[in-house]
Amino acid sequence: MSVTSEQLISLTEHISYLKMPTNIGFIRFEREKGEKCIFIVDSGNDETTGKRILDFINENFPDYKLCAILNTHSHADHCGGNSYLVRETDCEVWASKGEAYLMEFPEIETQLVWGGKAIHDIRSKYLLAEACRVSRVFNGEEEIFIQTKDGEISVKVISLSGHYVDQVGFLITDTDKKSVCFAGDVLSGRNSIKKHWIQYLLDETKTKESLFKIQKIVSDFYIPGHGDITDSIEGIAELNLLAILETEDMILDELKKPKTMEELLKAVADRSGITLKTSQFCLIGSTIRSYVTGLYEEKKITYEIIDNRMIWKTI
């Protein structure tokens, strides 16, 4: 299924986005010396998605070259098209230090959710991207200026960790002074949250901190990793935070009766109406463990080792 021109939503003079299962930022400009460039933010799930993006560029903007991919983080659905696009265009890949390492060694992702060498059942394209080289590494928050024949485009790299190891967002201010915030998976759109109320996160505490942080970022538009664009950050950030807090409350309620981690996972899945398949068992299980860590560090729950089992309970 090809990418169509209807999916390219124009926002500012040079910035658009491709409305896809994973939203793709699209920055098109001409450099001062005449080179016509496209930068994209994230690249979708796999080689097929990468090919669709490149076919779309070649068909609609044949005079332009894909020059760089700016990755918010290294989950397969955000960087899975990288390797194909690098092979076909020799474009650069930009990423934060932590995410760059994971892009070059993607098998770590499945090892993280499994807790050791992963079984082959979860070593699929949905969790395991093809390894790719990273040509520019962000060592923290920084601002990059792109000189165009129309003026200057500013790209601010913003640390938004929590969903993953070293996730970043990009606040891009165009030559017309309008700005677009590409938030990665710190934000999910309303439709995405309703479909997946319990969303994967690696560090619950940092995720909440990043949600408070992004509410202070002033932008004309906010693009979540998945779901609909918004021009108002408060409501969608609060909804994302509400989903986290309600999951916290559910865990605390369930741990009034002590449980092992696997018993807790079953209880949360049952209450949420989720039928766990293998990948969900691993991803939601990993997420629940991250919640448990946060609640334990906040001294809201504790554990005992009884009969060689780790039993969690409220304090």
Structure tokens belonging to residue 227: 């779901």
* pLDDT reported for residue 242: 95
Q: What is the DSSP string of 243-254?
A: HHHHHHHHHHHH
* pLDDT reported for residue 2: 85
* Rounded CA separation 153/151 (Å): 7
CA distance readout (Å), 237 to 102, 121, 136, 159, 186: 27, 34, 30, 16, 9
Give tens-digit pLDDT for 127-170. Answer: 999 999 999 999 899 999 999 999 999 999 999 999 999 999 99
pTM above 0.85, yes or no: yes
Alpha-carbon torsion angle 27, 3, 200, 229, nearest 10: 60
CB atoms within 10 A of CB 125: 15
- Does residue 101 sit in helix, strand or coil? helix
Q: Which residues of the chain have pLDDT under 50?
A: none
Burial code (b: 16+ CB inside 10 Å, e: under 16) for 100-113 equals bbbbeebeebbebb
* pLDDT reported for residue 254: 98
CB atoms within 10 A of CB 17: 23
* pLDDT reported for residue 33: 84
Q: Which helix (H) or strand (E) holds 170?
A: strand 168-173
* pLDDT reported for residue 76: 96
CA distance readout (Å), 170 to 27, 102, 108: 12, 19, 25
